């Protein structure tokens, strides 16, 4: 008898879960528990380990999609590319789809993610309805905002696999039409850009036209853009940025009126993946002569990741610099968040002090209502709390994520100098930074910023034998 897609997903998932548990039991006592996976979206090196890891090789599927309930059951290692491929035929997508195809749902939840819907939908973990998690002690628990594992549910985001690994997630989806209408609004000053972005984030419209997607790009202090997207089912011609044309260059213009463009919803979701925002230029992929010869299937983030891996393994970039008489490069690959009214302060400082451009801007606000209100004895009081204990953001406050991904010459005798001064500036402005890349905080600073007391309580409950590495060990010591 033939199996339908949902039945196949259930069977494959059950098989994958058994392999995961068997692999956990095979790890020797006293050895750290890690994932046995070859790929990663982290930009920090990890110490090598000879111990066997957790087998997640069959936990990469969408288990099922419920188009009536508008939810999906998803294995933790499923990429957003595969997730969108499964939901889009129903006219549905996740509430937040991070920019790169290879990001996994489990990775975005435990390591945070963001996109141009975050000003209205928050962060990816806020659309999670329940999580099945393998804890450090080897237990499988189902965490929801209203059950006995609610502390793990709200502590899991930003834990980076140090409290356990997501095996299955149930997430909410939203309906989308086939197209996105874009307006690229040029702004000639960082303060003006900040104020306009704050206004649009609150109003969710600009010049009488609805705004469903909101992000921005800063090229220089007097050349910045807000990109406003509107969902539409109106037919018409669409642009293609998956071949010779480069998306971020299409944003630029010198007119007073917004520049318009249209994309299919799929191409909009992956508009940044083809050129890894603008980072493909480091590999020559934006040179027209090279791009004509570059196979289209390699114009994607997963291939650039391989090139980065080769560079990290053999220090190719630094060796080429040495031949040219240039110093080694300090990698400055970070995403930070500051309150929206401090955006211009940070961007002005950054453009003056750090020789990196362009930079990406993406406003966000915690989802409203929040899952913290589900099952709470006093929903009104719960709504005023900071639910996500390891990455505390103020309810009702808009923030702006600033992304910058490049390198600068090493400062002699001062390892990590540029990253350190960025961390200091972000803290001065009341912000945070994501932990997917190098961090240099002291233990005291780190504990204050990333929920130290709550984190210690969660580790005592879910990993009493310390089988998993700690968050400071992973994020700062790069263990």
The pLDDT tens digits for 309-361 are 777 777 777 776 777 777 889 999 999 999 999 999 999 999 999 999 999 99
Q: Name the average pLDDT for the chain.
A: 91
- Domain boundaries in the chain? 5-176+470-475
The rounded distance, in Å, linking the Cα atoms of 94 and 88 is 9
Q: In b/e form, how buried is each residue of 408-439, taking b as 16+ CB within 10 angstroms?
A: bebeeeeebebbbbbbebbbebebbbbbbbbb
For the record, the structure tokens of 242 come out as: 């998956």
Helix, strand, coil % (nearest 5) of the chain? 35, 25, 40
pLDDT higher than 90, residue 52: no
In the chain, the percentage of residues whose pLDDT exceeds 90 is 79
Is domain 5-176+470-475 annotated with CATH 3.30.465.10? yes
In this prediction, residue 381 carries a pLDDT of: 56
Check whether the bond before 63 is cis (ω within 30° of 0).
Answer: no
Looking at residue 377, its pLDDT comes to: 61
Q: Which residues, listed in sequence order, are joined to residue 206 by a DSSP beta bridge?
A: 209
Alpha carbons 115 and 97: distance in angstroms, whole number:
6
């Amino acid at each position: 008898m033939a199996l339908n897609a949902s039945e196949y997903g259930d069977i494959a998932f059950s098989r994958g879960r058994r392999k995961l548990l068997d692999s956990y039991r095979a790890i020797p006592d006293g050895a750290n528990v890690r994932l046995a996976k070859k790929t990663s979206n982290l930009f920090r090196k990890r110490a090598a380990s000879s111990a066997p890891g957790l087998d997640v090789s069959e936990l990469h599927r969408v288990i099922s999609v419920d188009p009536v309930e508008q939810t999906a059951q998803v294995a933790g290692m499923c990429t957003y590319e595969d997730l969108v491929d499964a939901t889009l035929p129903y006219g549905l997508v996740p509430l937040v789809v991070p920019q790169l195809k290879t990001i996994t749902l489990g990775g975005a939840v435990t390591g945070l993610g963001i996109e141009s819907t975050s000003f209205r939908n928050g962060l990816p973990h806020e659309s999670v309805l329940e999580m099945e998690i393998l804890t450090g002690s080897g237990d499988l628990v189902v965490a929801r905002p209203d059950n006995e594992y609610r502390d793990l549910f709200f502590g899991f985001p930003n834990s980076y696999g140090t409290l356990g690994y997501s095996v299955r997630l149930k997430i909410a989806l939203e309906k989308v039409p086939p197209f996105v209408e874009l307006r690229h609004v040029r702004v000639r000053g960082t303060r003006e850009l900040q104020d306009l972005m704050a206004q649009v984030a609150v109003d969710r419209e600009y010049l009488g036209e609805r705004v469903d997607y909101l992000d921005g790009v800063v090229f220089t202090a007097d050349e910045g853009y807000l990109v406003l997207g509107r969902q539409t089912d109106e037919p018409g011609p669409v642009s293609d940025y998956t071949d010779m044309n480069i998306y971020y260059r299409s944003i630029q213009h010198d007119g007073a009126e917004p520049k318009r463009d249209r994309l299919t919803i799929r191409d909009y979701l992956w508009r940044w993946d083809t050129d890894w925002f603008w980072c493909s230029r480091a590999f020559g992929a934006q040179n027209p002569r090279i791009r004509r010869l570059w196979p289209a299937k390699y114009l994607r983030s997963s291939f650039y990741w391989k090139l980065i891996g080769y560079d990290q393994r053999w220090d190719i970039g630094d060796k080429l610099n040495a031949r040219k008489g240039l110093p080694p490069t300090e990698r400055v690959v970070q995403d930070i968040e500051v309150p929206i009214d401090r955006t211009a302060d940070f961007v002005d400082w950054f453009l003056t002090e750090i020789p990196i451009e362009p930079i990406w801007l993406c406003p966000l606000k915690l989802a409203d209502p929040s899952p913290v209100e589900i099952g709470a004895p006093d929903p009104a009081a719960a709504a005023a709390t900071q639910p996500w204990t390891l990455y505390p953001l103020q309810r009702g406050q808009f923030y702006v994520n600033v992304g910058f991904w490049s390198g600068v010459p090493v400062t002699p005798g001062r390892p990590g100098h540029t990253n350190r001064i960025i961390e200091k500036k972000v803290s001065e402005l009341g912000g945070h930074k994501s932990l997917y890349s190098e961090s240099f905080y002291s233990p005291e600073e780190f504990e204050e910023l990333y929920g130290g007391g709550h984190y210690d309580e969660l580790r005592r409950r879910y990993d009493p034998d310390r089988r998993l590495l700690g968050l400071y060990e992973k994020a700062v010591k790069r263990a």
